[in-house]
Amino acid sequence: MSMVGLVSMSEVYPRPSGPMGRSDLLKKAYQLVMKNKEKLARIITLENGKPYRESLGEVAFGSSYIEWYAEECRRVQGTVISSPSQSKRMMTIKQPIGVCALITPWNFPLTMVTRKACAALSVGCTVVLKPSEETPLTALTLAELFREAGLPEGVFNVVTCDRDGAADIGGTLCESPLVSLLSFTGSSAVGKILLNQASGTVKRCHMELGGNAPFIVMSSADLDDAVKGALDAKFRNTGQTCICPNRFLVQEDVHDEFVKRLNIAMEKQLVTGDGFAVGTTQGPLINAKAVDKVDDYVKDAVSKGAKLVRGGTRSSSGTKFYPSTVLTGVTLDMRCMHEEIFGPIIAIYRFKTEEEAIRIANATSYGLAGYAYTTDSKQQWRMAEALDFGIVGLNEGLVSTAESPHGGFKESGIGREGGIGIGLDDFLEVKYVCIGGL
């Protein structure tokens, strides 16, 4: 991939348009996306496999970032600094960082684009987007709608490739001096490679990387709420989300009842099948490699003594479906307790005390999301502060919104997306101006 001919921000996105002009443009793009929601949802289901109803939900969620940044960009402010000298006036101004390279994953092919691209566009940056090779059509359709909304040519650029070309494109974007920022969502392993490649130009990097989220059920929990939260958080996109629970830690005196209620709810509510079929809640995994990986986690756990409560037997050879699975008797030496599963497996570990749950939950290099269910208000505060994760859901399984910051601790990433003000920070440079001789 050659970066020669890449159009600079100032050439195609004249500053006189200002935040008001960019806000109006994004609002128009939001209206076009919502007008074409059925078309976009169909493309997402065809590419990604998630049920059509869930794809419609992604369009609504993803478009909320378009609307959010259309409003946030009008609130970017500098500051006036109290000067220590009467002959000087001091201030800061915020300016767009420049060309932003965005690399997005397949699991949310629309939302991951709007969350990044609209933040960049709203403050006047240009974008070079490399969507996942698994789901390029959603990104291309979205870019076309932005052009229809009036975005100038050269502002929202999409570069597609096959799997073999992904590393070359990523490396070029990281190493090019024309690119000022790299924003990546994906695995921690790939994120580390990109950070290393971007270091040569001291490029600003935003990373949302892997997760190993705990889901803690305390003895004081409302078990019906906990079961609902487990299904909401775990089985969205068939378990293929960075913030879905990976390790279920259930206090011993409610363990059996939680497993019982969970199994009943899964039997009633989860239906695996064609994403366009009425009633389907669980689609296929993204590819055959993902099916093999999930099946290996189950086999590893069972071989080490875990009990298979439901599921765990892969569908007929050649298909990409995997049944919703529950494992109990899970121990700390099993792979499912240390590695990101990214599939429809609930692996349950029985614990005794709050201190034990916190210790196990935090015993990971990841720190993206964590969940805890308890009706004890004092315990809620203790756990909210003790859990070492960038996102904590207390008695809530659906935590993501455009209004809240999204990002992780430790090896789960750098920076935040969304939220009031904070989601724009990576895309802005702060310039200090000192005027003397007054």
Q: Vertex 198, ends 194 and 199: CA angle to 5°?
A: 120
Closest CA to 127 of 167, 158, 161, 151: 158
With 0-12 / 13-18 / 19 or more C-beta atoms within 10 angstroms meaning exposed / middle / buried, residue 19 is middle
- Compute the distance between CA of residue 63 and CA of residue 114 in angstroms, rounded to an integer: 7
Catalytic residue among 58, 67, 72, 208: 208
Question: How does DSSP classify residue 6?
Answer: P
Give the residue from 173, 125, 128 showing the smallest Cα distance to 11.
125
Strand, helix or coil at 382? helix
- Measured in degrees and rounded to the nearest 5, phi and psi for residue 391 equal -130, 125
Compute the distance between CA of residue 172 and CA of residue 174 in angstroms, rounded to an integer: 5
- Which string of b and e fits 213-238 if b means at least 16 CB within 10 Å? bbbbbbbebebeebbbbbbbbbbbbb
Measure the CA–CA gap between 149 and 32, rounded to whole angstroms.
Answer: 7
Find the helix or strand (DSSP H, E) in which 224 lies: helix 223-234
CA gap 263, 102 in Å, rounded = 40
Structure tokens at 321: 């479906």
Residue 235, φ and ψ in degrees, nearest 5: -100, 5
Residue pair 407/390 in contact (Cβ under 8 Å)? The answer is yes
What pairing do the DSSP bridges indicate for beta strands 366-367 and 409-410? antiparallel
Question: How far, in Å, CA of 131 to CA of 418, rounded?
Answer: 19
3-state DSSP assignment of residue 328 = strand
Can you tell me the distance from the alpha carbon of 425 to that of 415, in angstroms, rounded to the nearest whole number?
A: 9
Position of tokens 């229809």? 148
Can you give the length of the chain in residues? 438
* Residues ≥6 apart with Cβ < 8 Å to 279: 271, 273
Can 339 be counted among the known catalytic residues?
no
Q: What is the DSSP letter of 421?
A: T
Q: Give the residue among 218, 307, 214, 212 at the shortest CA–CA distance from 263.
A: 307
- Residue 165, both tokens: 């070309």
Q: Just list the catalytic residues.
A: 208
